[in-house]
Amino acid sequence: MTVNTSTSSAVFNDLGGLANLKARSNRGDEAGALKETAKQFEAIFLNMMLKQMRESSFGDPLFDSDAGDSYRAMFDQQLALNLSESGSLGIARLIENQLGGGLSSRAMDTENPFKPFRFVAPKINNNIQNLDSQPSAKISTEIKKNEFKSADDFVASIWPYAEKAAKELGIPTETLVSQAALETGWGKYLMSSTDGKPSNNLFGIKADNRWGGKVVSVKTTEYRDGVVQKERANFRSYESLQQGFDDYVAFLKSSPRYSEALNSRGNAVEYLNNLQRGGYATDPAYANKIQGIMQGETLLSAKSKLDS
């Protein structure tokens, strides 16, 4: 006879499965415990969904009764558990990946303690492929701290370059400063080569086959079908901040996919939204994050000190 050793409950009212799950985690089997916990969350979600569906219907006037309602609730709970065990909906797998199940370490993201957990819905955009840029390279431990001492120092240092580039693109200077701040964590996590030399790549532009210059190879984060995944990629490296800003402008102007962004008529929000729609970044919240920085106290304070 085959015995099922899964930590998931075989039936909805089997609390022993939950106890076994806790014991399995305490024994150090975190990966297995995480997998089974994700299934439990999926079962809870599906049961809530089925309950709402039942409540939104008119019911069966011929056979409705309190006993019938109880049995239907029990059936729905068992159905939700069976669906989560089958994995056909993929919700448990998504939860597992978000909580660290998709990483080789099977653990939470410890390389970026500044990034909060964010649940991302699947299939954000199925039309964007071979994206040119990825904004989260700053999370890698291979990225060394730069000479920027503070956010104020970062803004003051890059403002002249950003102002020139923004004028060429026809957008407010704050737009580019905010984008660079997001990409590099206000200059604290600028990509660097193995010898510690900064790449001066403030905009996370990857080194594809169109690039013939120097590169830096670092770990980065991609959103694939709504799931966060770590990958290694090559990024462009520049000799100076000026070269980095010049290449950013040339990069956008040379690609038809960013034509709408370049035709934003000075509207920063429209520019950022069109930039994201063009496929600049895989993060579905990329444009909103930059807008948040533009409107935040950090940039406003730094700019006021710059103007004084």
Decide if 187 contacts 214 (C-beta within 8 A). Answer: no
pLDDT > 80? residue 190: yes
Burial class of residue 2 in the structure, from the number of CB atoms within 10 Å of its CB (0-12 exposed, 13-18 middle, 19+ buried):
exposed
Domains of the chain in sequence order: 16-98 (no CATH), 137-307 (1.10.530.10)
Strand (E) or helix (H) holding 200: none
Q: Output phi, psi for 235, to 5 deg.
A: -120, 155
Greatest pairwise CA separation for the chain in angstroms: 81
Please give the residue that has the higher pLDDT: either 77 or 178: 178
Decide if 268 contacts 172 (C-beta within 8 A). Answer: yes
Between the alpha carbon of residue 261 and those of residues 250, 277, 292, the distances in Å are: 13, 9, 19
Q: Is 163 a catalytic residue?
A: no
Choosing from 132, 174, 247, 283, which is the catalytic residue? 247
| Residue range 34-77, pLDDT digits in tens | 777 777 777 787 777 777 776 665 555 555 566 666 767 777 77
Decide if 192 contacts 198 (C-beta within 8 A). Answer: yes
Q: Is 152 a catalytic residue?
A: no
Please give the residue that has the higher pLDDT: either 82 or 179: 179
Structure tokens at 8: 């998931």
DSSP single-letter state for residue 281: -
pLDDT > 50? residue 134: no
> What pLDDT shows up at residue 19?
59
**Alpha-carbon Rg for the chain in angstroms:** 25
26-41 burial: b if 16+ Cβ within 10 Å, else e: eeebbebbbbbbbbbe
> What pLDDT shows up at residue 36?
74
Global pTM value? 0.54
Choosing from 111, 222, 225, 270, which is the catalytic residue? 222
Rounded-to-integer distance, Cα 178 and Cα 186, Å: 9
Decide if 223 contacts 233 (C-beta within 8 A). Answer: no
> What pLDDT shows up at residue 28?
57
Strand (E) or helix (H) holding 227: strand 227-236
pLDDT band at 78 (very low <50, low <70, confident <90, very high): confident
Rounded-to-integer distance, Cα 275 and Cα 178, Å: 14
